[in-house]
Amino acid sequence: MPRTYPAPRLGENVCMTTVSVGLGPISEAELVAVARAGAPIELSAESLSAIAASRSIVESLADDVEPHYGISTGFGALATKHIPPDRRAQLQRSLVRSHAAGSGPEIEAEVVRALMLLRLSTLATGRTGIRVQTAQTLAGLLNARITPVLREFGSLGCSGDLAPLAHVALALMGEGEVRDAGGRLQPAAEALAAAGIEPVTLAEKEGLALINGTDGMLGQLLLACTDLDLLLRTADLTAAMSIEALLGTDRVFAADLQALRPQPGQAVAAANMRALLAASPIVASHAGPDCTYVQDAYSMRCAPQVAGAARDTLAHARRVAGYELASAVDNPVVTLDGRVESNGNFHGAPVGYVLDFLAIPAADLASMSERRTDRMLDVARSRGLSAFLTDDAGVDSGHMIAQYTQAAIVSELKRLAVPASVDSIPSSAMQEDHVSMGWSAARKLRRSVDGLTQVLAIELLSAARALDLRLPLRPGPATGAVLDALRETVPGPGPDRYLAPEIEAAVEFVRSGRAVEVADKALAEPLR
């Protein structure tokens, strides 16, 4: 059984206006609003017309003597078998029931809601041949906050996220398990009845239309992009606090030095560092000609280079996600000129690659953060701080084991950075002989995001204690404001005490976006 982590809940300030699902793509912000905050949705009038138009094409082909995949044939390796009209409703039910074969721990509600919204967005394009009432029922589940129960294992990321999406389709049929708006586990039939939603009896093509998409992996990519956007700003903040605590210099972040290497993300990170360290009495205290330190260690001096490269990786991932949001992934698909054609757009390689790619900077950012923390704890390298930031070294151990926790997480993140998308296991009697494993890449990236959150939180916690130990010197306005805000829930230096709750408080301080929010309020311009 794999280790499970809490669902990341970063940056809760989301818009709660109604999200219109129509012919155009939804945005990352809209997805986060629906997935995390339960924002209501509605299908646009244009999308309802497009859905109805494509459905009429599917119905016209249902009685055709020529076989049409997913309408009058079996699926996958059974695509050559013709299905008579009186058994096609059973065909769709059987498809969903057999494919709802997930196993393992339950998937987080926000992932399920993201997946549901993205599938609805594809249905709204009118390229799938689904009926209007089926699309409206899916929208009804989202608005009633009825969340089908999905499981960790079942998707190979090719032919889409089949098993996860099939569990959603099963709930539309009034079968399987769901969680209601209050999080209570109950049979789908009971939850739908309580919400006044009529279960769907699937018609031709609808089973395929509901399960043949990359929505699970794409939803997790978009949630991760939002989370990493916040964590990159947090990484600049914790690096600045550590640099102050270690009596480092801000001179290396000068704009002219950074411009010598015009990487766009690096320029943003360095600008953040300059802003965070501006007017810092600690930095000013050793900025004169009497300072004998020539240059800082790489984990301090090169922070913009690493955080900048991570930003550029994130920008690439968002471009790929944008292409996917503008896509209508189904097989077969109803084309604009009225054909129903098989295709391979359900293959998850584009999404799987960037999911894997993002796990690399997540691990590297965490690794650099842990190195700065370790430096603050080492009396030989901390430039005058007490050993392990203790109150009474020897009697106390200070933050010694907090760094162990960081190290354990960093080691895990390095393992999670090994790509899932290079693997492939043939399935469906070799009809599906190459798969993307994009769902697996998405699942491990979520664990990476959570791990990076914890590592940065421990650095922030340790840097805050180190800054307190530098008194009467004070940090800069922004980092000082963050220190003061943390002290509202976590006390300052003193004899050893139960440390785990303080770490969790720091994790929530980071995860909620509160740390960056406090820094932003103290700056002329917010961190980017």
Same domain, 199 and 268: no
Q: In terms of domains, do 141 and 193 share one? A: yes
**Would residue 145 count as lying in a domain?**
yes
**Domain-ending residue, one of 188, 213, 238:** 213
Alpha helix stretches (DSSP H) within 302-391: 303-325, 349-377
DSSP class of residue 288 equals S
Which ranges constitute the DSSP H helices of 289-348? Answer: 298-301, 303-325
What is the Cα 27 distance to its own chain's centre?
14
Say which residues have a Cβ less than 8 Å from residue 121's Cβ, sequence separation at least 6.
21, 25, 26, 325
Pick from 130, 502, 44, 65: nearest CA to 330: 130
Structure tokens at 82: 């013709």
Determine how many CB atoms are found less than 10 A away from the CB of residue 87: 9
Looking at 179, 213, 247, the residue that finishes a domain is: 213
Task: Give the whole-angstrom CA distance, residue 85 versus residue 65.
Answer: 11
* Helix, strand, coil percent values for the chain (each to nearest 5): 55, 5, 40
- Report pLDDT digits (tens) over 98-143: 999 999 999 999 999 999 999 999 999 999 999 999 999 999 999 9
Give the per-residue SS3 of 248-275.
CCCHHHCHHHHHCCCCHHHHHHHHHHHH
The pLDDT tens digits of the residues spanning 31-62 come to: 999 999 999 999 999 999 999 999 999 888 87
pLDDT at position 346 is 87
Maximum CA extent, the chain: 91
**Band of pLDDT at residue 68, cut at 50, 70 and 90:** confident
**186 lies in the same domain as 229:** no
- The domain spanning residue 474 has which CATH number? 1.20.200.10
Beta bridge mates, 393 = 396
Active-site pick, 69, 353, 404, 498: 69
296-317, pLDDT tens digit by residue? Answer: 999 999 999 999 999 999 999 9
Q: Does 285 fall in a domain?
A: yes
257 and 145 housed in the same domain? no
Q: Are residues 460 and 392 in the same domain?
A: yes
14: in domain:
no
Percentage with pLDDT > 90 across the chain: 78
Give the burial class of 266: count Cβ atoms within 10 A of its Cβ; 0-12 exposed, 13-18 middle, 19 or more buried.
Answer: buried
d(CA 195, CA 189): 10
Quick: pLDDT tens for 226-257.
999 999 999 999 999 999 999 999 999 999 99
- Are 191 and 234 in the same domain? no
CB 237 within 8 A of CB 460: yes
- 130: domain CATH number is 1.10.275.10
Tell whether 9 is covered by a domain: no
Whether 7 is in a domain gets the answer: no
Residue 472's Cβ-count burial label (10 Å; 0-12, 13-18, 19+) is exposed
Write out the H or E segment, with its range, that includes residue 104.
strand 103-106
Hey, what are 403's tokens? 């760094």
Q: What was the pLDDT predicted at 418? A: 97
Q: Do 50 and 124 touch, CB atoms closer than 8 A? A: yes
Q: Are residues 167 and 47 in the same domain?
A: yes
Same domain, 297 and 158: no
Q: Count of domains in the chain?
A: 2
**Domain presence at residue 56:** yes
- Residue keyed to tokens 């206006």: 17
Q: Give pLDDT tens digits for 435-448.
A: 888 999 999 999 99
Q: Determine whether 500 is exposed, middle or buried from the number of CB atoms within 10 Å of its CB (0-12, 13-18, 19+).
A: exposed
**With 50 as the cut, is the pLDDT of residue 4 above it?**
no
Host domain of residue 83? 19-213
d(CA 76, CA 89): 18
Name the domain boundary from 193, 213, 233. Answer: 213
> Is the same domain home to 287 and 378?
yes
| Residue 466 reports pLDDT greater than 90 | yes
User: Does 4 map to a domain?
Assistant: no
Whether 69 is catalytic: yes
Same domain, 343 and 437: yes
| pLDDT of 66 strictly over 50 | yes
Q: What is the pLDDT of residues 422-432, one digit of tens each?
A: 988 888 777 77
> Among 276, 269, 240, which residue's Cα sits nearest to residue 255?
269
Whether residues 209 and 235 fall in one domain: no
Question: pLDDT value at position 80?
Answer: 66
Stretch 377-403: mean pLDDT, rounded? 96
DSSP 8-state assignment for residue 224: H
Least confident of 27-36, 156-165, 511-520: 156-165
Residue 387 counted as domain residue: yes
pTM of the model: 0.94
Same-domain check for residues 240 and 182: no
Could you check whether the bond before residue 472 is cis, i.e. omega within 30 degrees of 0?
yes
